Structure 1
Amino acid sequence: MSNLDAALQKAITTIPECVAAGYVDLSSGMLLGVKTVDSHPSEVMDLLAAATSDMFQGPNVVTIERIFKKARGVADTGQHYFQEMIVNSENLIHVFARSRKSQEQVACFVCRKSANLGMVLTKVRSAMPEIEVSI
């Protein structure tokens, strides 16, 4: 996983005010890699994979995806409808981006709230291909 670690570290340096990056495999529920510049509570790291899985594959989210696909006439090909999620907390921006290469993998990025959200999303999207091929 040294390639993944290097890709996550590179993403942290290119995404504005990024303080942490992780990569989650939803099918196994494992956190495959994580890099941080600040200390984060170990409890948060332990729950990151489970929380990410709930966000992307919880029963209500899957139901909403099915309803949106049906309403828009999109065939159910196994592709997920939701590709990115943004969660704003008091001090941080959390961006969760589903891999285009493997729908069962999600990258997680944490940036300071003072970062420009548009630039954060642009840099997250540009970092994803390198992270995806590192697995």
Structure 2
Amino acid sequence: MSLDQALQATMSTVPECLASGYVDMDTGMLLGVQTVDSHPQEVLDTLAAATADLFQGQSVTQIEMLFKKIRGQEKDDQHYFQEILVFSEHFLHVFMRTKKYPGHVVCFVCRRSANPGMVLTKARMGLDSVTAAV
């Protein structure tokens, strides 16, 4: 299955999902995207950079290092933050770091009216199939 097909299949199971994307934060590239509407290229180009800022921005990496130090895990190369939910005025954005590729993040955008617990559950259930398509 191609990455776009995997994103589309997972998107169809996530409640009220309007868009999905796959970001390689190491290269800064948006490797795949599926949406129900068309979006300006400028928005899509910015998604990868914004996702990298969420997970790898200077303040975030400092917090991760502090938490690791407190827990005695300073040499651990695992990332502390795995999932981030952002609620905007009209949407629920889910960003999930993949287990197989820690530098990759899958994003889902749903209507704000979607149940956050169900969105997160269904997104987690589809994460491995999306990652397997890379």
* Structure 1 partner of 2:100: 101
Q: Tell me, which stretches of 5 or more residues in structure 2 are unaligned?
A: none
Whole-angstrom distance in 1 between the partners of 2:75 and 2:110: 34
Asked whether 1:132 is paired with 2:131, we answer yes
Query: Deviation of residue 46 (structure 1)?
Result: 1.1
* Structure 2 partner of 1:32: 31
Question: Any conservation in 1 of the 2:22–2:107 contact (CA below 8 Å)?
Answer: yes
Asked whether 1:10 is paired with 2:15, we answer no
* Structure 1 partner of 2:21: 22
Query: Deviation of residue 17 (structure 1)?
Result: 0.2
Question: Any conservation in 1 of the 2:17–2:108 contact (CA below 8 Å)?
Answer: yes
TM-score (norm 1): 0.95
Query: Deviation of residue 87 (structure 1)?
Result: 0.7
* Structure 1 partner of 2:77: 78
Asked whether 1:53 is paired with 2:52, we answer yes
Poorly superposed stretches of 4+, deviation over 3 Å: none
* Structure 1 partner of 2:64: 65
Whole-angstrom distance in 1 between the partners of 2:5 and 2:49: 24
* Structure 2 partner of 1:116: 115
Query: Deviation of residue 39 (structure 1)?
Result: 2.5
Q: Tell me, which stretches of 5 or more residues in structure 1 are unaligned?
A: none
Query: Deviation of residue 69 (structure 1)?
Result: 1.1
Query: Deviation of residue 43 (structure 1)?
Result: 1.8
**Structure 1 SS opposite 2:106:** strand
The count of aligned residue pairs is 134
When structure 1 is superposed on structure 2, of 116-125 and 76-85 the one drifting more is 76-85
Q: CA RMSD in A?
A: 1.1
Whole-angstrom distance in 2 between the partners of 1:115 and 1:74: 36
Alignment deviations for residues 75-109 of structure 1 (CA, whole Å, 9 cap, x no partner): 43211000000111000000000000010000010
* Structure 2 partner of 1:87: 86
Residue identity in the other structure for 2:89: E
Whole-angstrom distance in 1 between the partners of 2:24 and 2:96: 12
